[in-house]
């Protein structure tokens, strides 16, 4: 945490505690500089940050004041999206073409990447990782290359098992298989427990890559109602498990219990426990996508559903790609009773994860400092979220709803229904901004008026400006569409 961030934090706490109230004047720069023993420029930086977060605002020639409508208070922030209402029956998936079209358009260095699936690369210790890579490979015994074969480097698997243990989840080193990122882990798990035509449960909305995996393996998607705050609706899931005809049972659930993509929802611990018990009762395996689990804003890492698994039915998939080492392609699965099946599929399809990447991660974890990096990363993402929420509140059309996740780097924004997210995306691209339109998050493209916004790229002014632009475009579409809808009556 930098000095100006510490100072901003102290002021923010005074505001949140009520010691400083709306309309109160914040200590002047000179005053703060003297009493705190920090330079005026540091105080300025702190105030700019607080201003961006919507907590204070400047009055010309007068100084900074606590804002009247705080982003954290009910009157200022847009409402939360309502729980989804997916179709009741399973469906084939044919979404991949649309997904690739959308993603393809967004792959341009100059775009403001609000549509990206990745956080900003400047948030990661790339230089230190490169040094770990070099020292890991210098120490390399060539036999390590053989050791890199599935299940993967022994030392790395031990370090991963240790992290599970520290967080209170008992995982056996032997069930951990190193993969090319979580994406491969998830795909292999799905392949291990399904046959073409089988039904698989996903959240509604769900990460488009899950839909693409289902499409690739010719599986049926059964989308289940999901709350933007606490995740999948267990009653709806229980009912689906009972209702499904015996000749076509649910063969797996692919869920993100912590910081779901795109909703950001976090299932409370008790609900995760219930989920695992429900699935165990039906003997249905859970493919748990937990790539954002380390990006919590609260003090504790939320336990994965895996923590409550006593049957070996939960396949917990994660990676270092979103939390430490983007591009290194090191993920894993703790695959429970499917460990052998997954390991064999891994061997058959891609043989092994790259030795240099495995060595680098193993070396980094052995040196220590991962948790320090994570703390800085989480704080940065939390600050960015405040900035993004404030900008959405300020610029987006009336009737907008927005999620308020307790971790990760996505907002799920529900725009007034006339807005078509694909059209908004097209217009935003023309302004140099990408978005992830809601249509790609459901097999039946039902989230046509929603967008997922990535706030994980720490360039505050760029983020604010881009959200102002998107808000204006959305407002215009909301109004234009209303006019357009009204127009038939005019003729």
Q: Measured between alpha carbons, how far is 142 from 178 in angstroms, rounded to an integer?
A: 19
> Are 466 and 112 contacting, i.e. CB atoms less than 8 angstroms apart?
yes
Choice from 227, 229, 316, 329 touching a copy of itself (CB under 8 A): 329
User: Is residue 345 close enough to count as binding a copy of itself by CB under 8 A?
Assistant: yes
Please state the closest distance from residue 467 (CB atom) to a copy of itself, in A. Answer: 22
User: Is residue 137 close enough to count as binding a copy of itself by CB under 8 A?
Assistant: yes
Closest among 212, 214, 184, 216 to 199, alpha carbons compared? 214
Q: Cβ-count burial of 385 within 10 angstroms (0-12 exposed, 13-18 middle, 19+ buried)?
A: buried
User: Is residue 355 close enough to count as binding a copy of itself by CB under 8 A?
Assistant: yes
User: Is residue 143 close enough to count as binding a copy of itself by CB under 8 A?
Assistant: yes
User: Is residue 98 close enough to count as binding a copy of itself by CB under 8 A?
Assistant: no
Q: Measured between alpha carbons, how far is 431 from 426 in angstroms, rounded to an integer?
A: 9
Please state the closest distance from residue 329 (CB atom) to a copy of itself, in A. Answer: 4
User: Is residue 196 close enough to count as binding a copy of itself by CB under 8 A?
Assistant: yes
Looking at the Cβ atoms of 59 and 138, the one nearer to a copy of itself is: 138
User: Is residue 328 close enough to count as binding a copy of itself by CB under 8 A?
Assistant: yes
**Direct distance between the N- and C-terminal alpha carbons of the chain, in angstroms, rounded to an integer:** 62
User: Is residue 344 close enough to count as binding a copy of itself by CB under 8 A?
Assistant: yes
Looking at the Cβ atoms of 191 and 444, the one nearer to a copy of itself is: 191
Choice from 1, 348, 366, 459 touching a copy of itself (CB under 8 A): 348
User: Is residue 140 close enough to count as binding a copy of itself by CB under 8 A?
Assistant: yes
SS (H, E, C) 70-138: CCCCCCCCCECCCCCCCCCCCECCCCHHHHHHHHHHCCCCCCECCCCCCCCHHHCCHHHHHHHHHHHHH
Between the CA of residue 375 and those of 184, 228, 257, 294, 300, what are the distances in Å? Answer: 27, 25, 21, 9, 11
Q: Residue ranges of the alpha helices (H) in 230-369?
A: 234-243, 269-282, 339-349, 355-367
Question: Which positions from 422 through 481 interact with a copy of itself, judged by CB under 8 A?
Answer: none
Q: Which segment (74-82, 255-263, 326-334, 376-384) binds a copy of itself by CB under 8 A? A: 326-334
User: Is residue 102 close enough to count as binding a copy of itself by CB under 8 A?
Assistant: no
Please state the closest distance from residue 103 (CB atom) to a copy of itself, in A. Answer: 8
Q: Measured between alpha carbons, how far is 415 from 475 in angstroms, rounded to an integer?
A: 9
Please state the closest distance from residue 180 (CB atom) to a copy of itself, in A. Answer: 4
Contact letters (x/-) for a copy of itself, 300-319, by CB under 8 A? --------------------
Choice from 236, 360, 389, 435 touching a copy of itself (CB under 8 A): 360
User: Is residue 350 close enough to count as binding a copy of itself by CB under 8 A?
Assistant: yes
Looking at the Cβ atoms of 277 and 376, the one nearer to a copy of itself is: 376
CA 400 to chain centre: 21
Q: Measured between alpha carbons, how far is 228 from 460 in angstroms, rounded to an integer?
A: 25
Looking at the Cβ atoms of 355 and 475, the one nearer to a copy of itself is: 355
Looking at the Cβ atoms of 137 and 238, the one nearer to a copy of itself is: 137
φ/ψ (deg, to 5) at 74? -60, -40
SS (H, E, C) 139-189: CCCCHHHHHCCCCCCHHHHHHHHHHHHHCCCCCCHHHEEEECHHHHHHHHH
Sign of CA dihedral 77, 78, 82, 87: negative
Looking at the Cβ atoms of 296 and 346, the one nearer to a copy of itself is: 346
Question: Which positions from 402 through 421 interact with a copy of itself, judged by CB under 8 A?
Answer: none
Would you state the torsion angle of the CA atoms of residues 232, 207, 291, 1, taken in this order, to the nearest 10 degrees? Answer: -100
Please state the closest distance from residue 216 (CB atom) to a copy of itself, in A. Answer: 6
Question: Which positions from 15 through 54 interact with a copy of itself, judged by CB under 8 A?
Answer: none
Contacts of 356 (CB under 8 A, 6+ apart): 133, 136, 137
Closest among 173, 127, 133 to 153, alpha carbons compared? 173
User: Is residue 63 close enough to count as binding a copy of itself by CB under 8 A?
Assistant: no
Give how many residues touch a copy of itself by CB under 8 A: 53
Choice from 24, 31, 122, 239 touching a copy of itself (CB under 8 A): 122
Q: Which segment (21-29, 60-68, 302-310, 327-335) binds a copy of itself by CB under 8 A? A: 327-335
> Are 320 and 120 contacting, i.e. CB atoms less than 8 angstroms apart?
no
User: Is residue 134 close enough to count as binding a copy of itself by CB under 8 A?
Assistant: yes
User: Is residue 81 close enough to count as binding a copy of itself by CB under 8 A?
Assistant: no
Choice from 277, 347, 376, 468 touching a copy of itself (CB under 8 A): 347
Which residue has tokens 């979404």? 95
Please state the closest distance from residue 337 (CB atom) to a copy of itself, in A. Answer: 17
Q: Which residues bind a copy of itself (CB under 8 A)?
A: 96, 100, 107, 109, 118, 121-122, 126, 129-130, 133-134, 137-138, 140, 142-146, 148-149, 179-181, 183-184, 187, 191, 196, 209, 212-213, 216, 326-330, 344-345, 347-357, 360
């Amino acid at each position: 945490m930098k000095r100006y961030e510490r100072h901003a934090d102290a002021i923010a706490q005074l505001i949140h505690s009520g010691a400083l109230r709306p309309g109160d004047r914040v200590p002047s720069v000179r005053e703060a500089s003297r009493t705190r023993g920090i330079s005026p420029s540091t105080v300025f930086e702190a105030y700019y940050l607080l201003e961006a977060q919507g907590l204070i605002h400047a009055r010309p020639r007068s100084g900074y004041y606590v804002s009247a409508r705080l982003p954290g208070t009910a009157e200022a922030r847009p409402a939360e999206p309502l729980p989804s209402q997916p179709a009741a029956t399973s469906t084939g998936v044919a979404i991949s073409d649309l997904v690739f079209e959308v993603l393809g358009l967004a792959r341009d260095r100059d775009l403001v990447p609000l549509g990206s699936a990745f956080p900003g690369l400047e948030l990661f210790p790339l230089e230190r990782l490169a040094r770990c890579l070099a020292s890991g490979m210098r120490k390399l015994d060539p036999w390590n290359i053989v050791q890199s074969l599935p299940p993967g480097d022994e030392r790395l698997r031990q370090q991963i098992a240790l992290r599970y243990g520290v967080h209170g989840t008992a995982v056996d080193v032997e069930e951990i298989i190193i993969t090319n990122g979580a994406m491969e882990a998830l795909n292999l798990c799905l392949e291990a427990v399904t046959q073409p035509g089988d039904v698989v449960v996903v959240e509604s909305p769900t990460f488009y890559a899950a839909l693409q995996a289902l499409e690739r393996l010719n599986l049926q998607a059964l989308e289940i109602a999901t709350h933007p705050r606490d995740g999948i609706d267990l009653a709806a899931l229980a009912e689906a498990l009972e209702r499904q005809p015996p000749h076509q049972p649910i063969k797996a659930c692919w869920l993100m219990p912590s910081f779901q993509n795109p909703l950001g929802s976090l299932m409370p611990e008790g609900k995760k426990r219930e989920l695992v018990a429900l699935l165990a009762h039906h003997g249905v395996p859970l493919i748990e996508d937990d790539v954002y689990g380390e990006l919590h804003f609260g003090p504790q890492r939320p336990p994965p559903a895996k923590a409550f698994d006593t049957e070996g039915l939960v396949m917990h998939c994660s990676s270092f790609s979103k939390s430490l080492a983007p591009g290194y392609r090191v993920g894993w699965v703790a695959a429970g009773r499917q460990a052998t099946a997954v390991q064999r599929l891994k061997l058959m399809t891609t043989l092994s994860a790259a030795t240099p990447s495995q060595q680098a991660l193993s070396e980094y974890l052995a040196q220590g400092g991962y948790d320090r990096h994570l703390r800085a990363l989480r704080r940065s993402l939390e600050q960015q979220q405040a900035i993004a929420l404030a900008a959405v509140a300020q610029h987006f059309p009336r009737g907008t709803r927005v999620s308020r996740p307790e971790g990760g780097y996505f907002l799920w924004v529900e725009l007034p229904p006339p807005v078509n997210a694909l059209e908004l995306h097209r217009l935003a691209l023309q302004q140099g901004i990408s978005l992830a339109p809601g249509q790609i998050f459901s097999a039946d493209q039902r989230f046509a008026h929603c967008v997922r916004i990535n706030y994980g790229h720490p360039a505050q002014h760029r983020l604010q400006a881009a959200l102002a632009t998107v808000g204006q475009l959305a407002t215009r579409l909301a109004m234009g569409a209303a006019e357009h809808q009204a127009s038939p009556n005019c003729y």
